[in-house]
């Protein structure tokens, strides 16, 4: 089935970005680097015959590509690996963040939060940011425009009901060709601010984009959209991908995170993503690798660990939106 494409909402590709000079994000307190820990909380929102889906979830669970899936029947092995994430893994990750006193952003699937209300409350209690990761953990690429708008709204309202917090940021990851551009208008219809979107992977710093439907507005009335890039290379999901971290052990993951940090720290003014999943990094052997990485970076000066909401607020203050510009300091001519 061909995907529905709204030509008026398509965004142009950008192959140059900030170019050779790159970009200094001017983090608070002259920090050299910003770390964004992100927990993808999906357990309970994945595909399951018990929830009316045609087959079990084949993606990102412990048996990887060898796990397969079952059509028209439950796959208890897959179900229970996801349940490990909600029963044990999420709490292990939360304890790690508490140990270092750092906040994280939760890419939260609404149905998953509904099914673990204790964890939902704990995330808000502990100062972590709630962002929407969809109503369920499903690929919505084939949705039509109006169906997608309704889905985004339902995702946000359900997440607000489950956590008490209305999301101000979005990462679906498996959206439609329109998702980038349709998000701001949907949030405006809901009467809630959209501070950021992470539907991009193409830089090491946040940046602004122009929105197609604002082109005819006076520049003073345009709002643009702030994108905070996400990442696959540092993602613990690569334990279950090929090519990935090549084994179930955490050592390769730990060394890769350290190498990514060292490069970005040396360059200065950049952001590093640490994407996590409760059922993956929440396993004991891998969580220890993550903890060693956290100990490593905690010993460095000039490291700012922030939620994506904090990053967005910083950018809106220091690099407010200017049409046609990726990020220009507020006091620049």
Q: What is the pTM of this model?
A: 0.94
pLDDT at residue number 76: 72
* Burial of 204 per CB tally in 10 Å (0-12, 13-18, 19+): buried
d(CA 85, CA 44): 9
34 contacts 311 by C-beta, under 8 angstroms: yes
For the domain bounded by 23-318, which CATH number is listed? 3.20.20.370
Average pLDDT, the chain: 92
Tens-digit pLDDT profile for residues 192-242: 999 999 999 999 999 999 998 898 999 999 999 999 999 999 999 988 877
86 contacts 278 by C-beta, under 8 angstroms: yes
pLDDT at residue number 68: 75
Residue ranges per domain, the chain? Answer: 23-318
d(CA 132, CA 128): 13
Is the pLDDT score of 333 beyond 60? no
3-state DSSP assignment of residue 106: strand
- DSSP at 71: B
Tens-digit pLDDT profile for residues 139-182: 888 889 999 999 999 999 999 999 999 999 999 998 899 898 89
pLDDT band at 8 (very low <50, low <70, confident <90, very high): confident
Q: For the residues of 39-54, what is the DSSP string, one character each?
A: EEE-TTTS--GGGT-S
- Cβ within 8 Å of residue 220, ≥6 positions away: none
pLDDT at residue number 246: 58
């Amino acid at each position: 089935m061909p995907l529905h494409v709204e030509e008026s909402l398509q965004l142009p590709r950008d192959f140059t970005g900030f170019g050779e000079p790159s970009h200094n994000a001017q983090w608070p307190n002259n920090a050299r680097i910003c770390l964004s820990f992100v927990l993808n909380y999906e357990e309970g929102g994945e595909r399951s015959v018990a929830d009316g889906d045609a087959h079990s979830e084949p993606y990102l669970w412990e048996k990887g590509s060898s796990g397969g899936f079952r059509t028209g029947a439950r796959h208890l092995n897959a179900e229970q690996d996801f349940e490990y994430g909600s029963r044990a893994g999420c709490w292990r990750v939360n304890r790690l963040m508490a140990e270092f006193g750092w906040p994280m952003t939760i890419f939260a699937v609404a149905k998953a939060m509904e099914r673990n209300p204790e964890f939902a409350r704990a995330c808000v209690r502990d100062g972590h940011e709630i962002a929407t990761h969809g109503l369920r953990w499903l690929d919505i690429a084939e949705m039509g425009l109006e169906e997608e708008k309704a889905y985004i709204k339902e995702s946000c309202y359900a997440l607000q009901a489950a956590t008490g917090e209305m999301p101000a940021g979005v990462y679906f990851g498996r959206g439609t060709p329109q998702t980038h551009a349709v998000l701001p208008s949907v949030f405006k219809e809901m009467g809630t601010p959209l501070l950021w979107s992470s539907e991009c992977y193409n830089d090491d710093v946040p940046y602004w984009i122009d929105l197609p439907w604002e082109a005819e507005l006076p520049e003073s009335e345009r709002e643009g959209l702030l994108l905070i890039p996400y990442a696959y290379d540092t993602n613990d999901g690569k334990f279950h991908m090929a090519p990935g971290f090549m084994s179930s052990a955490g050592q390769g993951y730990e060394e890769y995170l350290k190498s990514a940090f060292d490069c970005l720290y040396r360059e200065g003014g950049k952001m590093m993503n640490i994407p996590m999943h409760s059922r993956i990094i929440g396993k004991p052997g891998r969580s220890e690798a993550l903890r060693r990485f956290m100990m490593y970076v905690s010993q460095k000066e000039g490291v700012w660990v922030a939620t994506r909401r904090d990053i967005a607020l910083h950018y809106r203050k220091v690099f407010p939106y200017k049409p046609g510009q990726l990020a220009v300091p507020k006091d620049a001519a």
